[in-house]
Structure 1
Amino acid sequence: MNFIDYYKILGIDKKATASDIKKAYRKQARKYHPDLNPKDADAKKNFQQINEANAVLSDPEKRKKYDKYGKDWQHADHFENTKQYQEQSSGFSGREYSQAHSGRDFSDFFESMFGGSTNTGRSRQVKFRGEDYYAKFQLKLTDAYKPHQQTLSVNGKNIRITIPAGIENGQTIKISAHGGTGINGGPNGDLYITFSIAIHPGIKRLGNDLYTHVDLELYTAVLGGEITIDTLSGKVKLKVKAETQNGSKVKLKGKGFPVYKKEGQFGDLYITYVIKIPTHLTEKQKGLFAELSKS
């Protein structure tokens, strides 16, 4: 696996604090978000690398391993365990062991430990499972409404996944065997993707139910009538009762968000009417309202 300098990606140095990392991540994420760079072919790749860098550097334990082992940080636990075993079986002290392997790349060390000619038959057969990878992925509310395919770039490899409709904000799904490569023929680790659903400017989601506000003309509120509104599933016609009050609520059953992995099941859509007071009235119109107020 090629080395990726996470500090360089976020534009910080190794002395950066947790607060520095958080600020740098937000700045870079805004700069390279695919939605803000539709003409930049590399925007999605850059955005994913930014998320990957943040996932590692914002986690104290992962950052410690990354700082110590570089590109092999995912195998840090395996390295430490195997180093301890080798020390015990060879009689090396920790200091002697470090001196014996000083100046060597950890990848070279793994190779000599598991595949080199100096290993015993027993050590050559030791297999280790690959490291699990963790990633964050942001979706629009409209993207999470329908199942769709997405291509992710993980350590230079493209992975095509199908994201089910109705996925929750903060929900994590596992993609088996798409984590770190196993050592010495061991199984690959898994990839865990945590989804972040962006806030929609006009719709609020609570579970599988949706909430929105709809402007209503004063005349329609008073006299009643029919209006057309936009929902995530398309346009819907609504009949408005006469004398509808400001803040009145109506429920559209089955027009909410799809239930995760339950095809054909949906939550409800709750609409709150906001009555618009007319402005820029003519003298004649004001007169009519004056007459109405006297009646």
Structure 2
Amino acid sequence: MAVRDPYETLGVAHHADQDEIQRAYRKLARAYHPDINKDPGAEEKFKDVSEAYSILSDPDQRRRYDAFGPEFRSVPEGVDPQTWARSRARAGAGAGAGAGAGGPFTGGFGGFGGDVGDVGEEIDLEDLFGGLFGGGRRRGRWGPTRGADQEAEVEVSVEEAYRGAYRTLTIDRPGGPQTIDVTIPAGVVDGQRVRLAGQGGRGGGGAAAGDLYLIVRIAPHPRYRVEGRDLYTDLPLAPWEAALGATVAVDTPGGEAKVKVPSGTSSGRRLRLRGRGLPHPHGTPGDLFAEARIMVPRHLSDRERRLLEELAAASSFDPRNPRSR
């Protein structure tokens, strides 16, 4: 199961630290989020960016990608990276010579990508897999083989992405459907893959089972808009709160917070609450941005009307004149 180069997708160097990776992801996620960018290709780019971030923000996935490249999810656990690289190089060198020779192994191999060609004696499978085949080739048959990796999508709310969640999933197995209980860790982002070791396809010949990857999807929310780990929410304000300044309450997934509204705040101004977005298990949490929305009363009392009329007569403010704002 090959993936695009996550470093190239996010535009970061291979030695980039988590802060650099997170900044690059936030910038691209804002640029391509389907709620903001209506270009037909934006959604696909947003998925690529989310996929790249899910790999590079997970130390184990990043380590395996660095070791094995785009097909890292198809490489069994325990394979030595240098042995893997040497065997891949020998496969490339021998593919032309063995083509059409009618050897014992032709075509693609599992999820390792590409047509290997007629292997003949060019590749030592025991060397490649460190003995995982248990000498079966010499006995004229294949030995134990690791089970295939599987994928399943799971939808969570913003609150569940913040706190973590539990799910009961039904997975199709060769012997029939199987029900498993899974834990979604706190701090997942849309498109992230959560690895459940040993929960994939059953191995052959007593070998280990594959892994199950849960692809997380964050459901649309009536209050929050999600961009990576950052959250956006509307902050309704009375005209006098916006004009004079105030301290008001804001709902966040982690509970109520207070935000200071500066005097002279207009609609659309974003007030940042650091660390109030989605948590990050291995780094800096996201932020919550409260966007000011000035609301006016639909019905005025006689006193309110008189006061507003006095304000209108006394004020020289013209909202349509840029020099007044």
How does the TM-score come out when normalised to structure 2? 0.48
Q: Is the 8 A contact 1:250 1:272 kept in 2?
A: yes
Matched, 1:262 2:282: yes
Q: Deviations over 1:177-230 (max 9, x none)?
A: 222222333332221221111122221222222211110012222233332111
Paired residue secondary structure (2:312) = helix
Q: Unmatched 5+ residue regions in structure 2?
A: 1-102, 105-137, 315-325
- Counterpart position of 2:163: 146
In structure 1, the residue matched to 2:206 is 185
Higher helix share: 1
- Higher Rg: 1
Identity rate of aligned residues, in percent? 35
Partner Cα distance (1:124, 1:244) in 2: 75
CA distance in 2, matches of 1:293, 1:214: 25
Superposition CA RMSD, Å? 2.7
SS in 2 for 1:144: helix
Alignment check: 8 A CA contact 2:184 2:194 kept: no
Gaps of 5+ in 1: 1-83, 86-120
Determine if the alignment matches structure 1 residue 206 to structure 2 residue 227. Answer: yes
Q: C-alpha separation between the residues in 1 aligned to 2:246 and 2:142?
A: 78
Deviates more, 1:168-177 or 1:278-287: 278-287
Displacement of 1:171: 1.5
SS in 2 for 1:192: strand
Does 2:298 align with 1:282? no
- Offset of residue 123 of structure 1: 5.7
Structure 1 contact 218–278 (Cα < 8 Å) conserved: no
Q: How big is the shift at 1:159? A: 2.8
Equivalence for 2:41: none
Number of corresponding residues: 176
Contact 2:168–2:182 at 8 Å: present in 1 too?
yes
Aligned AA for 2:301?
Answer: T
1-structure distance, mates of 2:296, 2:142: 79
Aligned 1:1-295 pairs, distance under 5 A:
122=139, 126-155=143-172, 156-259=177-280, 261-262=281-282, 265-295=284-314
| CA distances 1:104-133 after superposition (whole Å, capped 9, x unpaired) | xxxxxxxxxxxxxxxxx9467733333332
User: How many Å separate the matches in 1 of 2:259 and 2:143?
Assistant: 67
- Would the alpha carbon gap of residues 184 and 248 (structure 1) be closer, same or farther in structure 2, given more than 3 Å must change? closer
SS at match of 1:243: coil
Q: Paired residue for 2:4?
A: none
TM-score (norm 1): 0.53
Letter of the 2:203 counterpart: G
Tell me the CA shift for residue 273 of structure 1. 0.7
Q: State the SS of the aligned residue for 2:214.
A: strand
Go from structure 1 to structure 2 and tell me whether the alpha carbon gap of 1:151 and 1:123 turns closer, same or farther (over 3 Å shift).
farther
Is the Cα–Cα contact under 8 Å of residues 158 and 253 in structure 2 kept in the other structure?
Answer: no
Q: Distance in 1 between matches of 2:274 and 2:142?
A: 60
Shift of 1:136: 1.1
Secondary structure of the 1:266 match is: coil
Equivalent AA in structure 1 for residue 219 of structure 2: A
Alpha-carbon deviations, 1:87-109, whole Å to 9, x = none?
A: xxxxxxxxxxxxxxxxxxxxxxx
Indicate if the aligned counterparts of 1:170 and 1:194 stay in contact, CA closer than 8 A: yes
1:80 paired residue number: none
TM-superposed deviation, 1:275: 0.5
Structure-1 separation of matches of 2:223 and 2:258 = 18
SS at match of 2:243: helix
Q: What is the one-letter code of the residue matched to 2:153?
A: K
